[in-house]
A and B are shown apart, each in its own frame.
Chain A
Amino acid sequence: MNAPIIKCHNLSHSYSGKAALSNISFICESGEPIGLVGPNGAGKSTLLNILCGFMRSASGNVTLFGHKPGASALSGRVSALPQDARLDPAFSIGEQLCFYARLQGLNTQQAKHETSRVLEAVALKDVLKEKPSVLSHGMAKRAAIAQALMGKPELILLDEPTAGLDPVNMRKIRTIITELSPVTTFIISSHDLAELGRLCQQMLLLDKGVMSTMQLNASENNKPTRFLTLQMESCPAPDVQAKFNNVAGISRVSNPQKNEFIIEYNPEIQPSMDLKIITCINDNNWQYRQLSQGKTLEEKLFFDGM
């Protein structure tokens, strides 16, 4: 078991009497990236702001590596990408990142080297001497991600890291997170569930200020039935559902979205259900786009049990 890096106990916060967080308690251990999901206004940014020390909780306790958020002892150990934060327009991007590195304890030479390294990592080395005003929204986001990567932080809190990025840069950020994961724990707040599904095995789900945790793999392996998610090309949904329902071992077929089917089956009756499904598709001359194990993250988090 890894050491806990975040401990929250009965954390509550409200804005003008409206609860944003209600008695949240959880522990995060170092290791794989952790996703923080929830609908708009669920309290994700509030929680990240409290963890970063940007705001104080109304009640409850929270510690990061045993220290209160915002403590000097966390300088260089905890890093963050705050939502909508922008760099100072008076200074060049290089000057500011260099300054941040100096504040983290690096000397001038190390700070310059580190600035080049992180800007290169987010494909922004060309804008080292530019002012933030020349950056597009996506570039400014990458510059903000660059500052979060400075030094060797043990914990990086990312609030919507890929919002506004193009697919190439989304993949770049995903690669950075994957590469750093063995030494750095990421907590990623995002609405992009496909992105989170690729990166995280553990999810923190916030809804109306209440938190629940989910281990994505564990939750499926422990159940007597399994799921397949099938995305078809244009097809007659009632026919598809009817045909699949006749396959031995399938207990339920749902059609939550256009051309998407979730198939629930018993693995003891039919262990190779994926092959059966492909055969059925082939026999009926249908075209499919994707067949994947389990439910989509969206289904698991927001529609399970509905």
Chain B
Amino acid sequence: MIPSFLKHISLICQFELKRLFATRKGLLYMITFAFIWYLILLYPIRFSSDFLSQQENTPEGNSFFQFIGFGSLLNWRIPELGVYWNFSLTIFPLLTVITSADQTCSDRNRGTLRFLCVRVSRGSLFFGRFSGIMLTQAILILASLLTTIALIAFRDTTLLPVAFNSASAIFLSLVIALLPFTAMMAALSATVQSARQATTWAILIWIFLAWIISIFSAYLPALNSLKLLIPGYQISNLYQLAEWQILQLAYIPLLQTIILLSIGRWIIHRQSL
């Protein structure tokens, strides 16, 4: 019996998880990721949270953070999670661009996609790879959040219920924020020859698309709304939000994801393998 579309997606998704946890390249990535987060937890999060705890109830402290543009950190009930949120908004999109750049391009060049495409539809393959990458990102976000919560528990175990509540908001918001980045890399990967080309194109799109839209919107301000199409457009605003408010702008990445996935699916259906 031929497996359904969703069963194929699930099988491809599982295989992508295996790529992260059971291949040399995946394990190397995991070790690098763990080392980066170990340093972030050990220094910025731990020390910043100590500093924030001391300053948050003083007018001098408040005005200092407002002045350097990190006033929103004081809106988090647990400072560690506020610092985590600010770091993760920068680090995870970058890691996503790097790790999801090779969703299909190497396999297409090598001919491996041909072995797959006689068994599954291109749509299943495209969405399966996308889902697999998103699942691995979600696992990594969860792991880093749990270690942050462990750090919080080490300081004060009574904060755990609040920590889990805030961490849930961060988890959801981060996963949603990463969707358009992964979708954009899926579409680029379906187009170009290598992961390096996909990453280069992603950087060019960010720089030039924003630049071109800015130039044209100077003449026609309505065009400024086109910036909504650039993945990560809402991230600068997310830095200013705290707790469950961070999901207020979730509609932007969700909309971007739908558009980018539609483009990617259209490309892969027309691509010669």
Q: Which A residues fall within an 8 A CB radius of B?
A: 49, 52-56, 70-76, 78-80, 82, 84-88, 90-91, 95-96, 99-100, 102-105, 144, 147
24 A-B contacts (beta carbon < 8 Å):
A53-B117, A54-B114, A54-B117, A55-B273, A70-B117, A70-B121, A72-B5, A73-B2, A74-B118, A75-B118, A75-B120, A79-B118, A82-B111, A84-B111, A85-B110, A85-B111, A85-B112, A88-B107, A90-B19, A91-B19, A95-B18, A100-B115, A103-B119, A147-B115
Top 7 nearest A-B pairs (CB, nearest first) are A85-B111, A55-B272, A82-B114, A103-B119, A54-B273, A90-B23, A85-B114
A102 touches B111 (CB 8 A): no
Among B226-273, those with CB < 8 Å from A are: 270, 272-273
Q: Which residues of B contact A85 (CB under 8 A)?
A: 110-112, 114-115
Q: Which residues of B contact A82 (CB under 8 A)?
A: 111, 114-115
B119 touches A75 (CB 8 A): yes
Nearest B residue to A52 via CB reads B118
Complex Cα–Cα for A147 and B120 (A): 14
Looking at B12, B24, B115, B273, the one whose CB has the most chain A CB atoms below 10 A away is B115
Among B85-108, those with CB < 8 Å from A are: 107
Closest Cβ of chain B to A150, distance in Å, is 9
Known A70-B122, A73-B2: A90·B114 in contact at CB below 8 Å? no
Q: Which residues of B contact A84 (CB under 8 A)?
A: 111
Closest Cβ of chain A to B19, distance in Å, is 6
Known A90-B23, A99-B15: A78·B118 in contact at CB below 8 Å? yes
B24 touches A80 (CB 8 A): no
Complex Cα–Cα for A96 and B122 (A): 18
Complex Cα–Cα for A266 and B221 (A): 90
**Is B203 positioned at the interface, with any CB of A under 8 Å from its CB?**
no
Q: Which residues of B contact A88 (CB under 8 A)?
A: 107, 110, 112
**Is B11 positioned at the interface, with any CB of A under 8 Å from its CB?**
yes
Closest Cβ of chain B to A226, distance in Å, is 42
